[in-house]
Chain A
């Protein structure tokens, strides 16, 4: 067995875990809960093995020593590492807070990332390091960035849960905000699921693999009618989330997760993620850029977007401490922060051009 088999096992495990956690949330059966945790743990161990094996394969291919054999060099590897950090963070929270219901909110993010890998037809092969990436800063810069991203992802999940618990009025801004965000995430997840099925059934030719499959079966379909229907469907999902958002509130409340715990978790993850992001993402990135390109800051889209993300979280921290912002307002900032993080990480690679193009895999 090589690393790809173990990655496969972990991928299946996380998707099963997502289903199990949602089932646990719905049926509150403790056996289901234990199964969900077990599957997640199996997935995590399997992914850890895969990560080490891929490192060993990389080591053999590159012949440049251990520091040049860290499998974090393209979009695929970084997404997989993001999922690993996220699951690790989640398992720690489950163990510390003795509460499994967060799983239903965090594993979907992992599932979405893995589905995204498959659908986008991302290159999964090991490629030797191009000269720009041959630096000892690679390890520090990339791992720290992704630890921060994972912490932000968790704060996003708890932020949404917080908003779900505290909002009542369907016409209030906070309620609309969280249901629309949640609805869009759900719609994207479902669209990816459809893509995934269409992709597995229909396309078997090598050309089809090379082409990106993201949203080809839905929003980006060649047939205008299907594309239009997809948008209508997505709007429908958003509408349904808005209409039945209260169900989620009842669910979370039935697990006796207090608003305080959610607010505290959101803050803690940002308080861990923000300094790590500043140091690993911005500072180490700048030092590396200085050594490789002769410019520590060049307003490249990736740099600019990470600065924007940094501003959002800096705002979160200042609003909380100086203005004493609590409640919905601050939870919304946390959610916006993660949306900006996703764009920094994926949007820039996919939509904008710049120096960080090797992430584009």
Chain B
């Protein structure tokens, strides 16, 4: 017997512990304070970066020790550390139990529609008005119904001794807003947990013209995709005459059993920073890019002889030659720069290791004799014309790789659902109120006596103005 009672005590104790606001405050503070540390110490970064930072606080000699201590405590990757996750779980437990603890009381209010009250109870309402009306109760009743309708309430009429009591209410369910909001937080966290356990986050660098059946997790582990993804092309476009990128685009194709798959009727899918590719629950995001040319990279050019001759598309490797159609002139790719610029003394130089302003240097020969040579810039058409025609430099293909963020997250829809639920909950909790009005009409000698009693759980001032309007409506 006694052990059972103790058990009960134990359960009560645990319940009380988790339902206490004090715990909520402690958890709020702990999560906030540790998070602050986490924003200062760079997360998952190279040790050198944090050593540099810590040197500012602790001096050079102590910085490595400080970093080692922080590392042991999990502060260098703290949002994934066991103690931070534990804090989040305690937060959720606290939230659930706090809500459950207070829910029955509110549910009772929400479940029961408004009903007539005794004069004593009406007298205790925060908003009251006492007015004398000229007509009889019946007239006053229809006036009251119309006036309530005027401020957006529907009247319920109850007969009483020597008169009627009219009750009306609005926004009863808004009292649940708090619980809906709390529930949405739980939903979001459940979605996050589902994502962590059943999904993955990986990355993949794909050189133009290559494909891969796997992506790579942060720790370097291969994650099979279940299909193959190929990068056909990658391109950065820039705002005119600047180095400000306008778009990063990749053209991707999915292969299943060696055959290309059509998505929305297309084999080649264009992706952009804000528009990823989704296939079989895996999403590919454009996240970075890079430049890594090889001897197999192809220069794609378009050659036209004279003015207005036939245009010919040519692809060739570094050092290879082509001829301008209908002439004896041959061009040979002799040099390349991914980002060419001119310095103050007029010398050319390469200013970046990405294809910001690619240019090819072509030597033109006629019957083996050098005739002229010229830099041709991809972004500047005025550099394309040569004495015997036009040479357009279209692309260096197979030299850039696209950096894809690869993600599978079966929990994301739960997170989104949580977000929608949260919006509804917050709206109900902050912008709706539960307003109740009781009007008692009583026959008296000189007319009808109207007693208005009302209460609201939010935005009292605006509600009082409504009651004023209601009282005016009764008179009119």
Q: Which residues of A contact B (CB under 8 A)?
A: 127-128, 130-132, 134-135, 271-272, 274-275, 278-279, 283, 286-287, 290-297, 299, 301, 304-305, 307-308, 311-312, 314-315, 318, 322-323, 348, 352-353
Other CB < 8 Å A-B pairs besides A127-B244, A294-B405, A315-B28, 6 of them?
Answer: A275-B430, A283-B419, A294-B276, A294-B406, A305-B39, A307-B35
Q: List 11 A-B contacts (CB under 8 A).
A: A132-B274, A134-B274, A286-B419, A291-B275, A292-B274, A293-B287, A294-B405, A311-B32, A315-B25, A315-B28, A318-B21
Partner-contacting stretch, out of B301-309, B341-349, B372-380, B421-429? B421-429
**Known A-B contacts A130-B245, A294-B276; A275 and B21 likewise in contact (beta carbons under 8 Å):** no
Which chain A positions have C-beta within 8 A of B38? 299, 304
A279–B39 CB distance below 8 A? no
Give Cα distance in the complex from A304 to B42, angstroms. 13
User: B320 at interface (Cβ–Cβ under 8 A)?
Assistant: no
CB distance from A65 to the nearest CB of B (A): 14
Interface membership of B412, Cβ < 8 A = yes
B43 interfacial contact with A, CB 8 Å: yes
Quote the shortest CB–CB distance from B229 to chain A (angstroms). 15
Chain B, Cβ-Cβ closest to A136 = B274
Task: Tell me if B245 and A283 are in contact (CB < 8 A).
Answer: no
By the criterion CB–CB under 8 Å, are A131 and B246 in contact? yes
Question: Is B100 an interface residue, CB under 8 A from the partner?
Answer: no
Residue of A nearest to B283 (CB): A294
Q: A299-B43, A308-B32, A352-B40 are in contact. Are A287 and B419 (CB under 8 A)?
A: yes
A206 CB to nearest B CB, Å: 16
* Cross-chain contact A318 with B431 (CB below 8 angstroms): no
- Could you say which residues of chain B place their CB within 8 Å of the CB of A271? 430
B475: CB under 8 A from chain A?
no
Determine the distance from Cα of A323 to Cα of B102 in the docked complex, in whole angstroms.
Answer: 13
Of B31, B285, B423, which one neighbours A293 at CB under 8 angstroms?
B285
**Complex: A283 Cα to B25 Cα, angstroms:** 23
Q: Which positions 275-308 of chain B face chain A at CB distance < 8 Å?
A: 275-276, 283, 285-287
Bound complex: CA of A353 vs CA of B43, how far in Å?
11
Nearest residue (CB) in A for B79 is A299
- A131-B274, A315-B28 in contact; A279/B35 too (CB < 8 A)? no
Kindly provide the distance from the CB of B33 to the nearest chain A CB, expressed in whole angstroms: 9
Residues of B within 8 A of A135 (CB): 274
Of all chain B residues, the one with the shortest Cβ separation from A283 is B419
Query: Is the beta-carbon distance between B426 and A308 smaller than 8 angstroms?
Result: no
CB closest chain-B residue, reference A96: B461
Residue of A nearest to B275 (CB): A291
B239 pairs with A291, CB closer than 8 A: no
Residue B138 lies at the interface, judged by CB distance under 8 Å to chain A: no
Query: Which one of B248, B274, B286, B407 contacts A295 once the chains associate, using CB atoms below 8 Å?
Result: B407
- Whether B407 pairs with A128 at a CB distance below 8 angstroms is no
Establish whether residues B423 and A128, one from each chain, have CB atoms under 8 Å apart when the complex forms: no
Q: Say yes or no: A130 contacts B244, CB within 8 Å.
A: yes
Q: Is B415 an interface residue (CB 8 A)?
A: yes
Q: Are B273 and A134 in contact (CB under 8 A)?
A: yes
Known: A318-B24, A323-B21. A275 touches B431 (CB 8 A): yes
Distance of A279 Cα from B430 Cα, bound (Å): 12
Chain A nearest Cβ from B272, distance in angstroms: 7
Q: B192 interface residue, CB < 8 Å from A?
A: yes
Q: Which residue of B lies closest to A297 (CB)?
A: B192
A271 to B426, CA, bound (A): 10
Whether B274 lies near A294 (C-beta < 8 A) is: no
Q: Does B247 contact A (CB under 8 A)?
A: yes
Which residues of the partner chain B approach A295 to less than 8 Å between Cβ atoms? 201, 405, 407
Contact A353 B42 (CB under 8 A): yes
| Interface membership of B83, Cβ < 8 A | no
Partner of B426, one of A128, A132, A279: A279
Nearest chain A CB to B460 CB, angstrom units: 9
CB of B196, distance to nearest CB on chain A (Å): 11
CB-CB under 8 A from A283, the residues of chain B are 419, 422-423
The interface residues of chain B lying within 8 Å CB-to-CB of A130 are 244-245
